[in-house]
Structure 1
Amino acid sequence: MPPRQPKLITLILLTAISVLSLNMFLPALAQMAVSFEVSYAVISVAVGGYMVVSSVLQLIIGPLSDMYGRRPVILGSMALFLLASLGCYLAENVWLFLAFRMLQGAVISGMVLSRAVVRDIAPPSEAARLLGVIGTAMALAPLLGPVLGGFLGETFGWRANFMAYALMGAFMLALSWRDLSETNLTPSDSFTAQFRAYPELFKSALFWAYCLCLGGSVGGFYAFLGGAALVGEGLFGLTPSQLGFGIGSISAGFMLGNFLTGRLSGRVSMLRLMFWGRISATFGPLLAITVMALGAMNFWVMFAGAISVGLGNGLTLPTANAGVMSVNPRLAGSASGLSGALTILGGAGATALTGALAGGPLGAYVLMGLMSASSGVGLLAVLWIGRLERAQ
């Protein structure tokens, strides 16, 4: 008997809360540093450290869900996120705050396991369509999250962000309890058996090809996040509000790409969608570099290059996520967690690299070049995927 499908809005919100937990409170970071009387570098551990913890947790969450099921892992994660958010809200010193902040990383299960649930209930082409629809809606989170967080911080103080997280966690716990039935109908025997099954993925060239595609794609996005403010403010003199609009441009492109994926999946092959997505993301920034070199050195051209990367990612990521979980459907949760961990670690590296290299008068060229290079790695991976699938 097939599992009862959860409502699409439940899966969208599970993904969105994972994104909001990373970016909603960012406008309040400086305010938090003052409140705790620490440097900006110390309080920024709430971002960088959180990303590292999230990547490690994905290695555990996937196998846990393959063994015990998607539902109990999601419910436990949402409960932990709720308690950790309250701990952040009540924390009186920065070290206690950071400890609870790391525990908030459990919410990443929403993103990892919503993908696994889709793969449980749908074949690959339909899974790509559903992931595209989910991506279209959840792309609003990185657009609206910082706006909401900035408003809460200015109006009620930075702690209001973490009370909002607690309320979101309580809502998602209740919604998941009510709507999310178990979709993993073939659980594994033991947790250690799941980790012993990792070599099955490690031995698969197709798995690594999909991971490389995901890492290159997301790397272009994180490169933009790491350098957009630096270049926009230092080179073009943009105000914070203008920067907010510009940084949101890549998410707007991502929404369009996800919308197209949702409409085209089933009519256009997954491989072709990924290929054209990588073409857009690789050559869009190169076109922006060319236009700027010809004399149109302005932020509109830079943001147009970013939109092309967002569009390409919207075409690539739903299909690549569906593909990486189809390499071995029995290990869908593990594949989602492992590929997600590798992708986040790669994204953290891209953020750091861009932040280190994109300063100075050539910053716009460096930023677009790094975005194109990372996206180009994804393009090569898609060509590798095509070759491996033809050989099967």
Structure 2
Amino acid sequence: MTHTPAATDQPAAKPGFIALLIAVSAVSPLGINMYLPSMPGMARALGVDFTTIQLTLSLYLGAMAFGQLVIGPLSDRLGRRPVLLTGLLVFVVGSAICLSAQNIGVLIFGRIVQAIGGCAGITLSRAIVRDLYGRNQVASMIAYVTMGMAVAPMIAPTIGGVLETFFGWRASFAFLIGFGGLALMFAYWHLRETNHSRASGESARELLRGYGSLFRSRQFWGYTLVTSFVSAMFFAFLAGAPYVMIELLGRSPAEYGFYFAMVPSGYILGNFATGRIAGRMGPNRMILAGTLLSLVSIAAMAALIASGFLSPVALFGPMLFIGVANGLVLPSGIAGAVSVRSDLAGAAAGLSGSFQIGFGALVAPIVGATLSSTVWPLIAIMTICSSLAIASLALVATRRMPAAGN
């Protein structure tokens, strides 16, 4: 088996390389968030109710979860570059289908195509980093990439709202065509192949045997479950916070958007901290610090609300620190998952990413079904997710991550 390049591969450290990974990683988050302000207008224009138009979001997430399972292993076999370029092209085609859709069926189909193509950027940016860097450096590099990528969900609803106001709901998909096309050209001209073990002559049976070892790995499932439960905690808040703010507290959607900016801001801070210190502390310590911080923050939220201080500050103040915690956990957890078998980094990135999205897709409707006149179901679900994340870390706490290239 050909080993991956050393962790000191200098070309990968250039700002242009980081910008490339951020751009391709941001494609799918933009696809999720940009059109959200247009959903009521889309429902009216296509003559469907809001529940039906919400399928364009839930099925997008489901397609992302499935797509990552396919794209990761394909990139292990065929290479990162061709699979990423194909994925970006598919995203552009899906965006064009959405732009031209005249009924809800075509729009949903376009969204599924979008999701399958767009998830290539998230999955393969992680695998590319693992191809080039050692185990501790992986967490730092992923942190820098996700720190930049976090800007996308912060600004996407604002851009989408402006486009909706002046040009209608189709303008968001026109923007996504342009952004996806630019990312595709950027990757075509500047991304070189990083998976140098793909042509090692392995048979299909040997490849399946390698996948079997990944599925049997306590380390892989430990890191994957940690990141999945932490992501589920965020998706739970994402599903419940609008209802709490607008329905229970009587605040405006604009005020909700203002407060919500605290969450990705905390995530950026957490990723910045990971990028600075993960190489010295190691992934496991970063994950432990982040999961404990999230549990303490949820406890603070519960204490504030139990004392009668139910306000936006009581919700979003602790969520700022939960955002920081996610920035500490996710890069290190992802780094751990893709480092268990570096020759299967693409498959590991796809499988772990699929679980992250899948857990979020599962927990969101549970929150929606349990919220009524109180915020406590949301807090309970977030507490459960945080506790399970800490418990999952026990699967890897006594195991060392493998050295780079193993």
TM-score, structure 2 normalization: 0.92
Partner Cα separation in structure 2 for residue 366 and residue 286 of structure 1 = 14
Q: Would you say 1:110 and 2:121 are equivalent positions?
A: yes
Match of 2:67? 57
User: 1:46-100, CA deviations, whole angstroms, 9 ceiling, x for partnerless residues?
Assistant: 1001111111111100010000000000101111111111111111121112111
Match of 2:387? 376
Q: Would you say 1:242 and 2:255 are equivalent positions?
A: yes
CA contact (8 A) 1:206 1:385 kept: yes
Partner Cα separation in structure 1 for residue 347 and residue 324 of structure 2 = 28
CA contact (8 A) 2:340 2:401 kept: no
The Cα shift of 1:252 comes to 1.3
Q: Which amino acid aligns with 2:211?
A: Y
Instruction: Label 1:191 to 1:230 Cα distance change in 2 as closer, same or farther (>3 A).
Output: farther
Partner Cα separation in structure 1 for residue 284 and residue 388 of structure 2 = 16
Q: Which amino acid aligns with 2:396?
A: I
Gaps in structure 1 of 5+ consecutive residues: none
User: 1:280-300, CA deviations, whole angstroms, 9 ceiling, x for partnerless residues?
Assistant: 111201111112212322120
Q: Which amino acid aligns with 2:120?
A: S
Q: Would you say 1:130 and 2:141 are equivalent positions?
A: yes
The Cα shift of 1:359 comes to 2.3
CA contact (8 A) 1:67 1:190 kept: no
Match of 2:353? 340
Within-5 A mapping of 1:59-208 = 59-105=69-115, 106-187=117-198, 189=202, 194-195=207-208, 197-208=210-221
The Cα shift of 1:390 comes to 9.4
Q: Which amino acid aligns with 2:272?
A: F
Q: Which amino acid aligns with 1:313?
A: N
The Cα shift of 1:176 comes to 0.3
DSSP 3-state at the match of 1:296: coil
CA contact (8 A) 2:38 2:164 kept: yes
RMSD: 1.9
Instruction: Label 1:190 to 1:112 Cα distance change in 2 as closer, same or farther (>3 A).
Output: farther
> Which of 6, 11, 34 is matched with 2:44 structurally?
34
Q: Which amino acid aligns with 1:159?
A: R
Partner Cα separation in structure 1 for residue 89 and residue 401 of structure 2 = 45
CA contact (8 A) 2:339 2:402 kept: no
Q: Would you say 1:253 and 2:266 are equivalent positions?
A: yes
DSSP 3-state at the match of 1:349: helix
Match of 2:28? 18
Q: Which amino acid aligns with 1:233?
A: I
Instruction: Label 1:358 to 1:348 Cα distance change in 2 as closer, same or farther (>3 A).
Output: same
Number of residue pairs matched?
390
CA contact (8 A) 1:285 1:308 kept: no
Instruction: Label 1:291 to 1:335 Cα distance change in 2 as closer, same or farther (>3 A).
Output: same
Instruction: Label 1:190 to 1:222 Cα distance change in 2 as closer, same or farther (>3 A).
Output: farther
Within-5 A mapping of 1:205-220 = 205-220=218-233
Identity within the alignment, %:
33
The Cα shift of 1:159 comes to 0.2
Segment drifting more, 371-380 vs 338-347:
371-380
Partner Cα separation in structure 1 for residue 272 and residue 124 of structure 2 = 21
CA contact (8 A) 2:92 2:177 kept: yes
Partner Cα separation in structure 1 for residue 111 and residue 150 of structure 2 = 23
Segment drifting more, 348-357 vs 315-324:
348-357
DSSP 3-state at the match of 1:218: helix
The Cα shift of 1:240 comes to 0.7
CA contact (8 A) 1:286 1:369 kept: no
DSSP 3-state at the match of 2:211: helix
Q: Which amino acid aligns with 2:133?
A: A
Match of 1:389? 400
Q: Which amino acid aligns with 1:328?
A: R
Instruction: Label 1:66 to 1:235 Cα distance change in 2 as closer, same or farther (>3 A).
Output: same
User: 1:224-255, CA deviations, whole angstroms, 9 ceiling, x for partnerless residues?
Assistant: 10100011111111101111122232211111
Partner Cα separation in structure 2 for residue 40 and residue 197 of structure 1 = 45
Instruction: Label 1:193 to 1:50 Cα distance change in 2 as closer, same or farther (>3 A).
Output: farther
Partner Cα separation in structure 1 for residue 265 and residue 367 of structure 2 = 21
User: 1:271-316, CA deviations, whole angstroms, 9 ceiling, x for partnerless residues?
Assistant: 1111110011112011111122123221201111212221111000
Partner Cα separation in structure 2 for residue 262 and residue 348 of structure 1 = 28
Within-5 A mapping of 1:251-290 = 251-290=264-303
Q: Would you say 1:327 and 2:337 are equivalent positions?
A: no
Instruction: Label 1:191 to 1:15 Cα distance change in 2 as closer, same or farther (>3 A).
Output: farther
Instruction: Label 1:234 to 1:255 Cα distance change in 2 as closer, same or farther (>3 A).
Output: same
Q: Which amino acid aligns with 2:263?
A: I
Instruction: Label 1:337 to 1:190 Cα distance change in 2 as closer, same or farther (>3 A).
Output: farther
DSSP 3-state at the match of 2:280: coil
CA contact (8 A) 1:302 1:368 kept: no
CA contact (8 A) 2:337 2:349 kept: yes
The Cα shift of 1:201 comes to 1.0
Partner Cα separation in structure 1 for residue 356 and residue 204 of structure 2 = 23
TM-score, structure 1 normalization: 0.95
Gaps in structure 2 of 5+ consecutive residues: none
CA contact (8 A) 1:305 1:368 kept: no
Q: Which amino acid aligns with 1:157?
A: G
Q: Would you say 1:293 and 2:306 are equivalent positions?
A: yes
Partner Cα separation in structure 1 for residue 401 and residue 347 of structure 2 = 25
The Cα shift of 1:119 comes to 0.4
User: 1:184-230, CA deviations, whole angstroms, 9 ceiling, x for partnerless residues?
Assistant: 00016467764553221111111111111011110111001010001
Segment drifting more, 77-86 vs 366-375:
366-375
Q: Would you say 1:305 and 2:318 are equivalent positions?
A: yes
Q: Which amino acid aligns with 2:80?
A: R
